[in-house]
Amino acid sequence: MRRNIALLLVVSVLLAVCLCGCNRPKVNYGIPAFDAEEKIIRATWWCPSPTEAEYQLYKDCGLNTVLLVNHNFWLLEDGDTLRDGYYLGHVPGYDEETMTDKSLALAKKMGMSVILADGNYLFGDEYNVYEKNTIDYSAYKDTIVGVFSGDEPSAPHIPKVAENIGNAKKYFPDVPYFCNLFPMYADPTAALKVRDYGEYLDAYREQYLSKTTAPRMVSVDFYPFMDNAGHMPKWLLNYRLLADMADEFDADFHVFIQTADGVNGNYDLQTQEQIRLQVNVALAYGADAYSYYLYQPPTGGYNYGLIDPEGKPSRYYPMAQAVNAEVASLESALQHYDRVDTQPVAPDQTAFSSGCFLFYQQEHREKLYEQSALLTELTVDNRMLVTLLKDDAGNEAFYLVNYFDAGTDEAFEDATATLKLTGMTQAALYGTADRLTGEVTELEDHEITLTLAPGDGCLVIPYR
């Protein structure tokens, strides 16, 4: 009798284990099958005019999405006559094909995605594009990947930007409806209109983001390479706050990448390494999307973006083109994983005494050890960002970036990292350096050593 009871208990336990865990993916530390359709959105603020030649130039840069922010503005002649129709939806009395119509058709034809812009904030409050005049966009269901509601609202304006959340989701339920936030260095009194940045994020969280439904997106623009680079130390902290908020709401994370020249000399971008670093820092903090600011100067004030005022590639164009190609070579692998934590790591404590690492003196590699089942030792000879990633099954990966601050002596120095990964014997590498696409390296004594050039990033996928 006791044997039968014992047998029954064993069977019950095995059945319970099977019911609870048999359908769960197994942590096997092999190389997962990546979904080739997983893309990182690459766009720009200010999009090209909807002609095939201009869209081809845009696409040749490695950009895969057009953000139609310049469709928010109505062009007027003689003060009251609508000329071109830069808007989402129809305006009464205007029957011609709009810029948005043309852009959607062209993007679909060329295999590109579109983020629409509804203009509620940029217009002010006098026109609700969703009330009566929104047209049927169902033909572009696979083309539209987001709807942009406004740029840098102050805290008092956030509720106004949020007014159309329900309307937008009614027409576009399967894409994020999002606005772009001020960066940490914005003046609290003049721009944010709150006491501090924490209060600003609380207002955004409570009055906008919590009122949206999935899918969601969190966005910010932080431009690190400025003449007044005193704000740069806040860069990583700003990204961490927004990336953590994105995790909290299971939202995608979008950032703007600095590629503007001009505005009274207020931009100080010189090299491709600076563009590469910006993109890789974004990826290290889990960005699913990034947009260059800017593409082509819309008016005066800028000498050029990726494109000059005449519509020709500027010196930034090939820089961004190269970085975009690097990202395209690793995106399906990187997008397979979710960010767990991102930590700055340095060879000694003195490297945490200035710049962006100043905010992380009490953290760094120890926290990575605590959260990783594999990482037992991590050494670096220069400053790096190290991100712990996990997939749905719990398999771990790591994203490393050779980080530098503006104007520091380390800016153009290589960085070498050694990771000891318990039980692992090999690693597949994907990275912006040399466009690595899964090259396998053997681990000696469960260790892997990588040397990255300035701004480079590398995805390390360890396996047995």
Confidence (pLDDT) at 374: 97
Half-sphere exposure of 328 (CA within 13 A, CB side): 13
Q: Is residue 100 part of a domain?
A: yes
> Is residue 430 a contact partner of residue 330, using CB atoms and an 8 Å limit?
yes
Q: Is residue 458 part of a domain?
A: yes
Q: What percent of the chain has pLDDT over 70?
A: 81
The Cα–Cα gap between 154 and 217 comes to 18
Q: Is residue 402 part of a domain?
A: yes
Residue with tokens 């398999």: 395
Q: Among the three residues 334, 349, 376, which one is the final residue of a domain in this structure?
A: 334
Kindly tell me if the per-residue pLDDT of 462 is higher than 80: yes
Mean of pLDDT over the chain:
85
Same domain, 328 and 445: no
Which region among 77-91, 411-425, 428-442 has the lowest average model confidence (pLDDT)? 77-91
The enclosing H or E element of 279 equals helix 272-284
3-state secondary structure of 226: coil
Per-residue model confidence as pLDDT tens digits over 335-369:
999 999 999 998 887 777 778 887 776 557 788 99
The Cα–Cα gap between 306 and 54 comes to 13
The Cα–Cα gap between 176 and 228 comes to 34
Kindly tell me if the per-residue pLDDT of 8 is higher than 70: no
Same domain, 83 and 128: yes
Same domain, 165 and 230: yes
Write the CA distances from 10 to 1, 3, 23, 222, 311, integer angstroms.
Answer: 14, 10, 20, 58, 73
- If you count DSSP H runs as helices and E runs as strands, how many of each does the chain have, helices first? 11, 21
Read off the pLDDT of each residue in 319-345 and give the average, rounded to a whole number.
95
Same domain, 262 and 358: no
Q: Which amino acid is at 163?
A: E
The Cα–Cα gap between 165 and 177 comes to 7
Q: Is residue 35 part of a domain?
A: no
Q: Which two tokens stand for residue 408?
A: 């520091």
Q: How confident is the model at residue 172 (pLDDT cuts 50, 70, 90)?
A: very high
pTM of the predicted structure, to 2 decimals: 0.90
Q: Is residue 1 part of a domain?
A: no
> Is residue 72 a contact partner of residue 117, using CB atoms and an 8 Å limit?
yes
Same domain, 118 and 264: yes
Q: Is residue 36 part of a domain?
A: no
Q: Among the three residues 309, 334, 359, which one is the final residue of a domain in this structure?
A: 334
Q: How confident is the model at residue 76 (pLDDT cuts 50, 70, 90)?
A: very low
Cis before residue 215, ω within 30 degrees of 0? yes
Which region among 42-51, 172-181, 222-231 has the lowest average model confidence (pLDDT)? 222-231
Q: Which two tokens stand for residue 397?
A: 């990966």
Higher-pLDDT residue of 436 and 195 is 195
Same domain, 396 and 268: no
Same domain, 366 and 310: no
Residue whose C-alpha is closest to residue 290's, from 161, 214, 389, 180:
180
The Cα–Cα gap between 87 and 98 comes to 8
Kindly tell me if the per-residue pLDDT of 98 is higher than 70: yes
DSSP code per residue over 232-267? GGGHHHHHHHHHHHHHHTT-EEEEEEE--EETTTT-
Q: Which two tokens stand for residue 167?
A: 């309307």
Same domain, 403 and 272: no
Could you report how far apart the first and last alpha carbons of the chain are, in Å? 45
Q: Is residue 456 part of a domain?
A: yes
Q: Label the pairing between strands 144-151 and 177-181.
A: parallel
The Cα–Cα gap between 386 and 452 comes to 12
Q: How confident is the model at residue 78 (pLDDT cuts 50, 70, 90)?
A: very low
Backbone dihedral region of 361: left (phi > 0), alpha (psi from -120 to 50 degrees) or beta?
A: alpha
The Cα–Cα gap between 447 and 463 comes to 12
Q: Is residue 29 part of a domain?
A: no
Kindly tell me if the per-residue pLDDT of 408 is higher than 70: no
Q: How many domains is the chain built from?
A: 2
Instruction: Provide the CATH number for the domain around residue 198.
Output: 3.20.20.80
Residue whose C-alpha is closest to residue 412's, from 421, 425, 420, 402:
402
Residue whose C-alpha is closest to residue 97's, from 105, 240, 121:
105
Q: What percent of the chain has pLDDT over 90?
A: 61
Q: Among the three residues 317, 334, 351, which one is the final residue of a domain in this structure?
A: 334
Read off the pLDDT of each residue in 197-209 and give the average, rounded to a whole number.
97
Q: 401: domain range?
A: 338-463
Same domain, 435 and 302: no
Residue whose C-alpha is closest to residue 281's, from 429, 387, 416:
387
Cis before residue 374, ω within 30 degrees of 0? no
Angle at which helices 52-60 and 99-109 pack, to 10 degrees? 60
Same domain, 46 and 151: yes
Instruction: Provide the CATH number for the domain around residue 454.
Output: 2.60.40
Which region among 95-109, 374-388, 414-428 has the lowest average model confidence (pLDDT)? 95-109
